[in-house]
Amino acid sequence: MSASTALVLPPTRSRLQRRLKRYAPAWIGGGTVVAWIVIALLAPWIAPYEPNAVDVTRRLLPPSAAHWMGTDTLGRDVFSRMLHGARLSLLAGFSVVLLGAAIGTAIGTIAAWARGWWDEGLMRLTDLVLCFPPIILALAIAAALGIGPLNTILAMLVVWWPKFARLSRALTLVQRSQEYVEAATVLGLKPRRILLRHILPNTIGPLAVLITLDLGNAILTFAGLSFLGLGVVPPMPEWGSMVAEGRELVEQWWVAAFPGLAILTVVVGFNFCGDGLRDWLDPKGRSR
C-alpha cells in the first residue's frame, strides 16, 4: 500500500499545483470580489465616520491616522464615503447584469425555439438596440429620465439585455439541433419542459461566464454615468461621483485616487473571475 501511495501521490500533488497555479488569478479576483461584498455589507459598522458628515475646518486634509484616505472639499472622510459607495456601486452592477441576463436569455431562447416571425421580430429589436453605442444610449435615456440611481439602473438595463439575447439564441439553436432534443420531442415532452429541463441547463455555462465578466463592465458604466452627473444625487456617496469631485484637485490627489482604485480592483477582480470560470467550464482548456 505504501508503495502504491508513493506512486500515486506525486502526480496528484503535481496536478493540484498546476491547477492552483493556473487558476491563481481567478482565486485572487474571487477573493477581491468577496472582500468588497463583505465591505459593502458591513460598511455602516466599519466606517469610522458618517459618510455625509460635513466639517469644513477639516477640508482637504491629506491621509493621516485620523483620516486614512484624507478628506474632500467639504471635510468628509474619503475612507468612510468609499466604503459606503461600495454598497451602491455593487448593487447597481448586480441589478443591471442579473436583470439584463434574465430578460435577454428569455428573449433569445424564445426566438430560437419559436423561429419564424417571433425570431425575426425579436432579433430585429435586438439589432435596433445594438445599433447604438451602449454608453451613449444609456446616457441619453438617463438624461431623459432624470438624475437618480434607480433611473440610471433602468437606463442601463435598456441597453444591457441584447448581448444576452444574442448569446442565448445562438446557444439554444445549437442545443435544439442535438439528438436528445429530437428524442424528447418524439417521446411527447412539452416544449416548455424541453426548454426548461433540457436546453436551458446546457446553456448556463457560457451565460455564467458572460455574467461574471459583465459585472465589472456594469459597475464601470454606472461609475461613468455618475462621473458625468447622472448617477446619484449629492451627497449620496458613489465611486464615480467621488472621482468627479476630485478631478480638478491635482495636489489633493487622494480625493479621486482612492475611489478610482476601488473601481479598478472590483473590475479587475470580476474579469479574473470570469476568465477563470471560462477556463474551468471549457473541457479543452482543463488541465489533464
- Greatest CA separation for the chain: 78
What domains does the chain contain, in order, with CATH numbers?
Answer: 26-40+66-283 (1.10.3720.10)
Q: What is the pLDDT of residues 111-120, one digit of tens each?
A: 988 888 888 8
Give yes or no for a contact between 288 and 274, defined as CB atoms under 8 angstroms apart. Answer: no
Closest CA relative to residue 123, chosen from 161, 177, 176, 178: 161
Q: Report pTM.
A: 0.86
Grid-cell match 476568465, residue found: 275
The predicted structure's pLDDT at residue 280: 80
Taking each helix axis from N to C end, the angle separating 149-176 and 78-114, rounded to the nearest 10 degrees, works out to 40
Give yes or no for a contact between 276 and 270, defined as CB atoms under 8 angstroms apart. Answer: no
At 71 the three-state DSSP class reads: strand
The predicted structure's pLDDT at residue 133: 85
Q: What is the pLDDT of residues 24-70, one digit of tens each?
A: 888 899 999 999 999 999 999 999 999 998 988 999 999 999 999 99
Residue 12 pLDDT exceeds 60: yes
